[in-house]
């Protein structure tokens, strides 16, 4: 499993976004993870994704920035 920027994994993020209704706008994703009490590093990852709308959970997870 690839590590994301900030050392998180897609599984760490999935817990906060799995129940969203897709398609969903990025600002709604950011709002949702904040409301669910996500740590600041996960909120920051979501804020910095260049995509502005996600068609599915898989689309969102594939858009997460990986560590290089």
**Local confidence pLDDT in tens for the 68 residues of the chain:** 566 656 778 888 899 998 999 999 999 999 999 999 999 989 998 998 999 999 999 999 999 877 54
pTM, entire model: 0.84
In a domain, 14, yes or no: yes
Q: Is 61 left (phi over 0), alpha (psi -120 to 50) or beta?
A: alpha
- 4 DSSP assignment: B
Based on the structure, what is the number of domains in the chain? 1
In a domain, 36, yes or no: yes
Q: Is 4 left (phi over 0), alpha (psi -120 to 50) or beta?
A: beta
In a domain, 68, yes or no: no
**Structural domain span for residue 59:** 10-63
C-alpha separations of 41 from 6, 22, 35, 37, 63 in Å = 6, 23, 14, 11, 16
The tokens of 38 are what?
Answer: 């996500």
């Amino acid at each position: 499993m690839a590590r994301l920027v900030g050392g998180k994994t897609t599984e760490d993020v999935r817990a906060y976004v799995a129940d969203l209704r897709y398609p969903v706008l990025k600002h709604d994703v950011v709002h949702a993870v904040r409301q669910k009490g996500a740590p600041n590093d996960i909120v920051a990852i979501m804020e910095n994704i260049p995509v502005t709308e996600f068609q599915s959970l898989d689309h969102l997870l594939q858009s997460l920035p990986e560590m290089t």
